[in-house]
């Protein structure tokens, strides 16, 4: 990655297929996490190498779900990678099953020092932590802010990371800037804060960083919410970056892509719980390679 003159680019070389370690959970029903990251990044021409942080029968919006914490296997899992000499171009982390898993991500950073570090600090939404998260796990997640090339919190997650009290989704630009500056001071190189809504029919995302100009980008706000849109947003943003797009262009693409997928999802049965349905619009991601 390179950052200068407000441009943040991954330099892809010819037909080279980059490898991305996707450190996320795997969910059996309800599209999210690895169920999103693998197909989206594959459509962007990446070799996706999953590191499953937990296994779920269904996502956590369902009243009943089974969770299996994979922490005990991760050491040997990564030992095998190391013995095979697997190289990585990016490490993309999301939902964690336990605080101890942060050490596995830091191990990947240490063993692949040139890899792009993308951190989606999946911890909660609408002012609340997800049901499997604890204060200890959230504190551990905060360790990944330092050194993140791209950090993509929503307002709830930004509040957890910075300690700045959550004020809802309708917040001022100055409040967003305050959170972003705090995250940059904690070591993030660039930050995308998602999901500011002010009642004017738009959803706003903000980007900025130590060497990147603070900027607002908006999309049309659809009148419903879906599980998995945050995972889709960050996966498609990373896909655009790995195709050589600037961070600003990647943010624009991710917002538009999620909106298109949400429209498709609303036409599906039980759309409120099934997770975001993006399959029929994956061609938009593949076009980034052109």
Domain-by-domain residue ranges, the chain?
17-289
The dihedral through the CA atoms of 53, 56, 58, 64 has a sign that is: negative
- Mean pLDDT in residue range 123-143: 92
Q: Where are the beta strands (DSSP E) in the chain?
A: 2-4, 7-9, 19-29, 47-58, 67-69, 90-93, 116-119, 124-125, 128-129, 150-151, 190-197, 202-209, 212-220
Task: With a cut of 50, say whether residue 146 has pLDDT above it.
Answer: yes
H-type alpha helices, 10-134:
34-43, 71-84, 101-111
Question: The whole model's pTM is what?
Answer: 0.94
- CA-nearest of 88, 26, 48 to 239 is 48
- Tell me what percent of the residues of the chain surpass a pLDDT of 90: 86
The CA distance from 21 to 103, in Å, is 15
Picking from 11-15, 212-216, 234-238, which range would have the lowest pLDDT averaged per residue? 11-15
pLDDT at position 4: 34
User: Tens of pLDDT along 240-286?
Assistant: 999 999 999 999 999 999 999 999 999 999 898 888 999 999 999 99
Q: What is the CATH number of domain 17-289?
A: 3.40.1190.20
Residue 195: is it exposed, middle or buried by C-beta count within 10 angstroms (0-12/13-18/19+)? buried
User: Tens of pLDDT along 15-40?
Assistant: 899 999 999 999 999 889 999 999 99
């Amino acid at each position: 990655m390179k950052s200068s003159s407000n441009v943040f680019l991954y330099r892809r070389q010819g037909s080279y297929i980059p490898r991305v370690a996707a450190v996320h959970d795997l969910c059996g029903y309800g599209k999210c996490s690895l169920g999103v990251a693998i197909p989206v990044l594959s459509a962007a021409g990446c070799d996706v190498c999953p590191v499953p942080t937990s296994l779920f029968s269904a996502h956590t919006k369902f009243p009943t779900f089974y969770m299996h914490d994979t922490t005990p296997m991760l050491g040997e899992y990564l030992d095998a990678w190391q013995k095979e000499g697997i190289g990585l171009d990016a490490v993309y982390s999301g939902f964690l099953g336990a605080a101890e898993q942060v050490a596995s991500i830091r191990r990947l950073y240490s063993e692949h020092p040139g890899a792009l570090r993308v951190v989606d600090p999946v911890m909660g939404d609408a002012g609340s932590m997800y049901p499997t998260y604890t204060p200890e796990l959230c504190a551990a997640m905060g360790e990944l802010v330092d050194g993140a090339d791209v950090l993509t919190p929503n307002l709830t997650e930004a509040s957890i990371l910075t300690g700045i009290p959550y004020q809802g989704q309708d917040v001022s630009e100055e409040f967003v800037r305050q959170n972003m500056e705090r995250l940059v001071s904690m070591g993030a190189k660039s930050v995308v804060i998602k999901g500011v809504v002010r009642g004017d029919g738009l959803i706003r995302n903000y980007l900025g960083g130590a060497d990147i100009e603070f900027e607002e980008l908006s999309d049309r706000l659809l009148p419903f919410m879906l599980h998995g849109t945050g995972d889709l947003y960050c996966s498609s943003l990373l896909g655009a970056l790995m195709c050589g797009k600037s961070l600003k262009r990647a943010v624009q693409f991710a917002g538009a892509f999620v909106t298109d997928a949400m429209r498709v999802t609303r036409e599906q049965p039980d759309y409120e719980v099934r997770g975001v349905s993006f399959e029929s619009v994956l061609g938009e991601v593949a076009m980034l390679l052109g």
